[in-house]
C-alpha cells in the first residue's frame, strides 16, 4: 500500500515543530498518540489511504510506533526528513493539531486506549500489531473518539470585506491549446 509521505519521521517532526511554534509541551507519549490519531483519521478522511509507512503496536502505555519511539527516546534525533509536506497532508495535520494539539498526553492516551483497534490488539499480547484497517474502522465509527467532521473541518478564512471562504488546494484545469488556422 502506498503512503502520502516517505516516513513516520516526517510526521513526527511536523508535530514537534508545531509544538515548538505554538509553545505546546510535547511529551514522548503525546507524540505517539498524535501519530496514531493522524494515521487512523487520515485513513478515514481519505478513503483508506495511509498517511505514513508505520506499524503501531499495543503497548501497556498505549499505542506506539516503535521505530519513532526508539529514535526519540533521548530527545529529537538528527535525521534528514522532508520539511515540505504535500498541501493535502499539511492541511490535514493542521486540522488535527487544532483539534488535539492542546490535549494532554493522558487525555490522548485514554482516547486511543478506548478504541476497539487498540483493545483487540492488546488482548493478543504485549506489543501486538494494531492493523491499519482496525484503526481506520475504529475511528470511522466515531464511538470512542470524535467523529471525522469534528476533527477535519475545512479551513475557513475571511475576505477583506468579511465574507467567509473555504480554503482548498489550487487545482488548475488544463486549457485547450489554441487553434491555429491553416491559411
In a domain, 177, yes or no: no
Helix (H) or strand (E) holding 129: strand 128-130
Q: Any idea what DSSP says for residue 161?
A: T
H-state helical runs in the chain: 8-21, 28-45, 66-71, 87-100, 105-113, 116-124, 132-141, 148-151
Q: What's the mean pLDDT in 29-36?
A: 96
Q: How confident is the model at residue 157 (pLDDT cuts 50, 70, 90)?
A: low
Residues whose CB falls within 8 Å of the CB of residue 17, separated by 6 or more in sequence, listed in order: none
In a domain, 164, yes or no: no
In a domain, 108, yes or no: yes
| Of 85, 100, 114, 96, the residue nearest 38 (C-alpha) | 96
Reply yes or no on whether the pLDDT at 154 is more than 90: no
In a domain, 1, yes or no: no
In a domain, 147, yes or no: yes
The 10 Å CB-count burial string (b at 16+, else e) for 127-156 is: eeebebebbbbbbbeeebbeeeeebbeeee
In a domain, 85, yes or no: yes
The 10 Å CB-count burial string (b at 16+, else e) for 28-60 is: ebbbbbbbbbbbbbbbbbeeeebbbbbebbbbe
Domain extent, residue 17, equals 8-153
Q: How confident is the model at residue 174 (pLDDT cuts 50, 70, 90)?
A: low
The whole-angstrom separation of Cα 133 and Cα 137 is: 6
Residues whose CB falls within 8 Å of the CB of residue 65, separated by 6 or more in sequence, listed in order: 8, 32, 35, 36, 54, 55, 56, 57
In a domain, 47, yes or no: yes
pLDDT at position 156 is: 59
Q: What is the DSSP string of 84-121?
A: S--HHHHHHHHHHHHHHTTS-HHHHHHHHHTSHHHHHH
Domain count, the chain: 1
In a domain, 178, yes or no: no
Whether the CB-CB separation of 1 and 50 falls below 8 Å is answered with yes
Q: What is the pLDDT of residues 101-150, one digit of tens each?
A: 999 999 999 999 999 999 999 999 989 999 999 999 988 876 666 656 55
Q: What is the pLDDT of residues 42-98, one digit of tens each?
A: 999 888 999 999 999 999 999 999 999 999 888 888 887 777 899 999 999 999 999
Amino acid at each position: 500500500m502506498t503512503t502520502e509521505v516517505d516516513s513516520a519521521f516526517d510526521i513526527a517532526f511536523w508535530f514537534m515543530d508545531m509544538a515548538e511554534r505554538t509553545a505546546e509541551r510535547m511529551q514522548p507519549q503525546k507524540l505517539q498518540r498524535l501519530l496514531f490519531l493522524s494515521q487512523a483519521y487520515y485513513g478515514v478522511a481519505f478513503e483508506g489511504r495511509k498517511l505514513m509507512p508505520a506499524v503501531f503496536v499495543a503497548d501497556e502505555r498505549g499505542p506506539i510506533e516503535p521505530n519513532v519511539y526508539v529514535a526519540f527516546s533521548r530527545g529529537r534525533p538528527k535525521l534528514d526528513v522532508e520539511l515540505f509536506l504535500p498541501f493535502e497532508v499539511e492541511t490535514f495535520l493542521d486540522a488535527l493539531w487544532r483539534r488535539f494539539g492542546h490535549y494532554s498526553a493522558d487525555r490522548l492516551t485514554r482516547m486511543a486506549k478506548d478504541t476497539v483497534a487498540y483493545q483487540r490488539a492488546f488482548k493478543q499480547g504485549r506489543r501486538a500489531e494494531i492493523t491499519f484497517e482496525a484503526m481506520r474502522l475504529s475511528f470511522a465509527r466515531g464511538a470512542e473518539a470524535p467523529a471525522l467532521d469534528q476533527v477535519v473541518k475545512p479551513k475557513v478564512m475571511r475576505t477583506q470585506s468579511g465574507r467567509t471562504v473555504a480554503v482548498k488546494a489550487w487545482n488548475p484545469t488544463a486549457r485547450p491549446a489554441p487553434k491555429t488556422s491553416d491559411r
